[in-house]
Amino acid sequence: MNLMANLLPAAAEIFLLVMVCFILIFDLLLKTNKIYTYLFVQLTLLGCSLVTVGTHERGVFYAFNGMFVDDLLSDVLKMLSYLGMSMVLVYSRQYLLLRGLFTGEFLVLALFALLGMNVMISANHFLTLYLGLELLSLSLYAMVALQRDSAIGTEAAMKYFVLGALASGLLLYGMSMIYGATGSLELGVISNAIHQGVQNKALLAFGLVFIVSGLAFKLGVVPFHMWVPDVYHGAPTAMTLLIGSVPKLAAFAFTVRILVEGLQGLSADWTGMLVVLAIASMALGNLSAIAQTNIKRMFAYSTITHMGFMLLGLISGGIEGYGSAMFYTVVYMIMSLGGFGMIMMLSRAGFEADTLSDFKGLNQRSPWLAFMMMLLMLSMAGIPPTVGFYAKFAVLNSVVQAGYTWLAVISVLFSLIGAFYYLRIIKLMYFDTPESHVPIAVESDTGLLMTLNGLGVLLLGLMPGTLMSICAVSVRQSLLLH
């Protein structure tokens, strides 16, 4: 009975690991055509979602001596990560095929990254959190360096590795200090120890500083953003798409588990730090993005800005604040998938459509793709009726209700500045003359997904209530009951 009580909450992760092992062997035997491996991976993602739904129960369940937690928050984020990873693979397939990168290694590393995300999402212990983080990070390092003959790709992988090593070092150092102050690595025990009072408050404070710094590195917010634009620029666009989208869900869960579940008693201290990180990220991210001519670098600075905006929800606190932060992260993932997916759809063999000039006159070449990109850019800018507007509004509303009206005013001002570089892309697509008249070859499934992605941004903007309520209920049932 105890064995099943431990295994059931982690059934999706166990199934995913078994399937990764099977796909490794299957791909080894399958010498040439990798499309079957790709289909098996997609079926694995479907299987993971069915297992997650099938094992879901109301309430919060702990497994492996409190190291792993299964709750509504984890199940919702896992379902969204399966969907996001499936979209990444559909968008990436043709791009990777044309560059000889559509290999079993890429597909297996993507699944290992997903396994790391799942472990991070369900972690209730510092060791489990770190295990998931490293599994995700190591997979992404290898994926960035997958194009071995690319000097810029290798440089990006090295920079990403150095960034990750710094973040991991800071987190481990902070975790060891928290352990020294509280005597535990389990988040619930740490929370109770802080509420009851810790003797060595200086050690606890230093541990908190190191942990927040490590989290800031992983989120890529200022001033820990250093090489994020270089990584986005240097990595093949398929890898950039993965880095800039689905792992943000795991990063959100990682941050919430540590700060809200484990270190809630120190919220007065970490809230002040997040305020500084959020303002700096929105300021530098928006101002730097304006100067970019490479759209991948522009999206990198855009990511820094969006992560700063997400932190505003965590600063607000409460069900509404944490729910709006989760909602914002999900919406950002959807927009990011569409944006990078469009770059890959416009790319072709030997040509990367990663500069702003490549989007000139897109409306003349493909009116439908231009319309989809316009919806995505309007959403990123936070302009109604797209879902990006409602995501920003939800976060700002929670900030104002928490008493940080001045912070909401600063955020709106920086959002107005940021709208410029998104609207500039729309201007290039609709009012400039195209530099190339090469037909845009789009696979039917990729084109359908892009249509669903673009229209989904619009539809969620018109009816955001369902997704917002799912996020709020997840937070209420999972974070605030234990």
- What's the pLDDT at 187? 85
pLDDT confidence of 112, banded at 50, 70, 90? very high
Contacts of 411 (CB under 8 A, 6+ apart): 278, 282, 309, 312, 395, 396, 399
- What's the pLDDT at 480? 57
High-pLDDT (> 70) share of the chain, %: 98
Please state the rounded mean pLDDT for residues 329-349. Answer: 88
Tokens of 479: 């974070």
Separation between Cα atoms, residue 338 and residue 344, nearest integer Å: 10
The dihedrals phi and psi of 307, each to the nearest 5 degrees, come to -65, -35
pLDDT in tens, 261-304: 888 888 888 888 889 999 999 888 888 888 888 888 898 899 89
Please state the rounded mean pLDDT for residues 225-254. Answer: 86
Range of the domain at 175: 2-478
pLDDT in tens, 431-475: 888 777 777 777 888 889 889 998 999 998 888 888 888 888 888
Distance of CA 351 to the CA centre of its chain: 27
Over 76-133, what HEC string results? HHHHHHHHHHHHHHHHHHHHHHHCCCCCHHHHHHHHHHHHHHHHHHHECEHHHHHHHH
Please state the rounded mean pLDDT for residues 65-78. Answer: 88
pTM: 0.92
| 8 Å CB contact between 391 and 334 | no
Residue 423 has pLDDT above 80, yes or no: yes
Residue 235 has pLDDT above 80, yes or no: yes
Say how many CA atoms lie within 13 Å of 22 toward its Cβ. 13
Tokens of 180: 């020294």
* Residue 457: exposure state from Cβ atoms within 10 A (0-12, 13-18, ≥19): buried
Partner residues linked to 385 by β-bridges: none
* Residue 356: exposure state from Cβ atoms within 10 A (0-12, 13-18, ≥19): middle
- What's the pLDDT at 482? 41
Separation between Cα atoms, residue 242 and residue 289, nearest integer Å: 20
pLDDT in tens, 179-212: 888 888 888 888 888 888 777 788 888 888 898 8
High-pLDDT (> 90) share of the chain, %: 19
pLDDT in tens, 370-411: 899 999 999 998 888 889 899 999 999 999 988 888 989 999
Radius of gyration of the chain (CA): 22
Number of domains in the chain: 1
The dihedrals phi and psi of 49, each to the nearest 5 degrees, come to -65, -40
Contacts of 390 (CB under 8 A, 6+ apart): 331, 384, 460, 461, 464, 468
